[in-house]
């Protein structure tokens, strides 16, 4: 895609109309691989825009909730078909906007397709349960009901996949939405919303508001007519959102940080374990909540493993993601690169041993982008800063242990609990890990990344508040369970009283 000499302008979608912000302000969206490449200008919206979007969503809810769920799901099926047709175009746009390598951009869009296809079937599976009543001539069942207006706030690292985790289930369940995408990736999110329009979503059902987290994001969170907030991002911001939702008793679904570890035992397939570490730590330039940030390594295989690991990391090609020979793209912006380097400098001050990387990658094709070298530290202790803080960049820390029990203890020594993995040929160890790890996701003989869209995704501790996105569990977030009793006895029957009279007489 050629560079834009005069950036185009994109708009908010409110009540079925594409409109500029009431603030009259704009912000630029730049390619992280080339800061001179301005993709577009977007509305820097404010409270008035949020209020208009919520009002439009609330109005549309009155009719959208009455559309049969299978009919709503048919729209998701059409969206899946459009996404398939436009996969390569969207993948290239995503890579240019966010920076991840093109192969991963295609994976991001494919996950979006898969999520839409799952939603297309889920519309016929929004099932309740029927259960026997304790009284005669009485029927008992549960049904699912939509909540109303849902506020969806998504991050930049998976700019189509994560919005699809939220949008498609919310809509299939009969809710309307106000969607705020990340300011680093607003264009591909806009294209996703346009696809939903093309697929047949009625005006007002999906509303898109661009802008910052303070004005727009928290404006959505605090709006009295928003029934639910779904947020993916940092634990610090998630905590603020949870506090606000708690005050108004608003439903809140949070998917937050991670500090994921792979255990490599002394009987591990070392080539496989190194493959997993390279992919887990440096895929997406480490900018995944499930990225492999720690290796918990058995001392008996340390030398052999580390030799392979460092060699492979040094061989990774860094550059713009549209070059299909590149394996590590840029960080998403300048601030992100400064933060990553700050963590590296702190690790060095605390005595960790730098084995490779640890500096900005610049020169040649890299001089205009936010690139950073794949970085590996050895000599890290489980309680060190490098082993505790979510760096969200291409930085991997190695912790050496002597036993399986010590490995589990090191892995669990984190305030986060999203993803983990273990490499071992011992089935007993594998099942003990399944029992003992404190994470929402566990891989055996694989990396910490690679979640599939039809399974629950989420974690423990400060990784979230217990909800799970993905698969069937996502539909629990976006529906209320309504219990229904039908008494056809023709008389008043009092549960726990009338059916126990004989016992007290």
Q: How confident is the model at residue 502 (pLDDT cuts 50, 70, 90)?
A: low
> Tokens 């009259």 appear where?
24
Across the chain, what does the average pLDDT equal? 96
Q: Is 41 a catalytic residue?
A: no
**What's the DSSP call for residue 464?**
B
CATH of 260-444, one of 3.90.980.10, 3.40.309.10, 3.40.950.10, 3.20.20.150: 3.40.309.10
* CATH tag for 9-256+464-483 (out of 3.30.70.260, 3.30.360.10, 3.30.465.10, 3.40.605.10): 3.40.605.10
pLDDT over 70 (residue 2): no
pLDDT tens sequence across 147-168: 999 999 999 999 999 999 999 9
Q: What is the pLDDT of residue 1?
A: 46
Q: At residue 505, does pLDDT exceed 70?
A: no
Sequence ranges of the domains in the chain: 9-256+464-483, 260-444
State the catalytic residue, choosing from 97, 173, 289, 462. Answer: 289
Q: Which of 97, 191, 255, 469 is catalytic?
A: 255
Amino acid 186: pLDDT: 98
| CA angle in degrees (0–180, nearest 5) for 190-191-195 | 120
Q: Helix, strand or coil for residue 407?
A: helix
pLDDT of residue 504: 65
Residue pair 333/184 in contact by the 8 Å Cβ criterion: yes
pLDDT, one tens digit per residue, over 12-70 is: 999 999 999 999 999 999 999 999 999 999 999 999 999 999 999 999 999 999 999 99
Question: What is this structure's pTM?
Answer: 0.96
pLDDT higher than 70, residue 383: yes
Q: Do residues 285 and 100 make contact, with C-beta atoms less than 8 angstroms apart? A: yes
Cα–Cα distance measured from residue 328 to residue 330, given in angstroms and rounded to the nearest whole number:
7
Beta strands 130-132; 138-146: pairing state:
antiparallel
Would you call 255 a catalytic residue per the annotation?
Answer: yes
At residue 5, the pLDDT reads 56
Which pLDDT score is estimated for 490?
Answer: 97
Chain segment 347-357, per-residue pLDDT in tens: 999 999 999 99
Give the Cα separation of 94 and 115 in Å (integer): 17
The whole-number pLDDT of residue 501 equals 75
pLDDT digits (tens, 9 = 90+) for 278-330: 999 999 999 999 999 999 999 999 999 999 999 999 999 999 999 999 999 99
pLDDT at 4 over 60: no
Q: How many percent of the chain have pLDDT more than 70?
A: 98
The whole-number average pLDDT for the span 397-422 is 98
Q: What is the mean pLDDT of residues 81-85?
A: 98
The answer to whether the CB of 328 falls within 8 A of the CB of 282 is yes
Do 9-256+464-483 and 260-444 share a fold? no
């Amino acid at each position: 895609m050629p560079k834009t000499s005069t950036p185009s302008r994109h708009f908010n979608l409110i009540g079925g109309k594409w409109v500029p912000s009431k603030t009259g302000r704009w912000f630029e969206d730049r390619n992280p691989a080339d800061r001179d490449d301005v993709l577009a200008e977007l509305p820097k919206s404010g409270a008035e825009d949020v209020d208009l979007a919520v009002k439009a969503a609330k109005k549309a809810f009155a009719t959208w909730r009455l559309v049969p769920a299978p009919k709503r799901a048919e729209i998701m099926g059409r969206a899946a078909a459009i996404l398939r047709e436009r996969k390569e175009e969207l993948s290239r746009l995503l890579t240019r906007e966010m920076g991840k390598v093109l192969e991963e951009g295609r994976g991001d869009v494919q996950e979006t397709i898969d999520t839409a296809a799952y939603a297309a079937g889920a519309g016929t599976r929004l099932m309740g349960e029927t259960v026997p009543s304790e009284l005669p001539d009485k029927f008992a069942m549960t049904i699912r009901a939509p909540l109303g207006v849902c506020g969806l706030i998504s991050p930049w690292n998976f700019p189509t996949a994560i919005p699809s985790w939220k949008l498609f289930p919310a809509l299939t369940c009969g809710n309307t939405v106000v969607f705020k995408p990340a300011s680093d990736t607003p264009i591909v999110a806009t294209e996703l919303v346009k696809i939903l329009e093309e697929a047949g979503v009625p005006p007002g059902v999906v509303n898109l508001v661009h802008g910052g987290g303070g004005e727009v994001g928290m404006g959505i969170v605090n709006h009295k007519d928003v029934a639910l907030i779904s947020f993916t991002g940092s634990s610090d911001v998630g905590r603020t959102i949870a506090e606000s939702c708690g005050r108004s008793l608003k439903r809140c679904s949070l998917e937050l940080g991670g500090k994921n570890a792979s255990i490599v035992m002394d009987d591990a397939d070392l080539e496989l374990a190194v493959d997993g570490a390279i992919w887990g730590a440096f895929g997406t330039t480490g900018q995944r909540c499930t990225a492999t940030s720690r290796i918990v390594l058995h001392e008996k295989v340390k030398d052999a493993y580390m030799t392979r690991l460092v060699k492979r990391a040094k061989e990774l090609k860094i550059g713009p993601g549209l070059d299909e020979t590149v394996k590590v793209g840029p960080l998403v912006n300048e601030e992100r690169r400064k933060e990553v380097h700050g963590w590296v400098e702190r690790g060095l001050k605390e005595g960790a041993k730098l084995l490779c990387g640890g500096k900005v990658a610049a020169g040649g094709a890299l001089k205009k982008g936010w690139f950073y070298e794949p970085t590996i530290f050895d000599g890290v202790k489980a309680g060190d800063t490098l082993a505790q803080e979510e760096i969200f960049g291409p930085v991997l820390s190695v912790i050496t242990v002597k036993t399986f029990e010590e490995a589990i203890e090191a892995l669990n020594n984190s305030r986060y609990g999203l993803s983990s993995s273990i490499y071992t040929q011992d089935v007993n160890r594998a099942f003990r890990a399944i029992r003992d790890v404190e994470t929402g996701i566990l891989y055996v003989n694989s990396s910490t990344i690679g979640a599939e869209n039809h399974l629950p995704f989420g974690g423990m501790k400060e990784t979230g508040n217990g909800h799970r996105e993905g698969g069937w569990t996502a539909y629990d977030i976006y529906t209320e369970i309504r219990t229904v009793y039908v008494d056809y006895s023709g008389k008043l029957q009092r549960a726990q009283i009338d059916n126990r009279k004989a016992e007290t007489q």
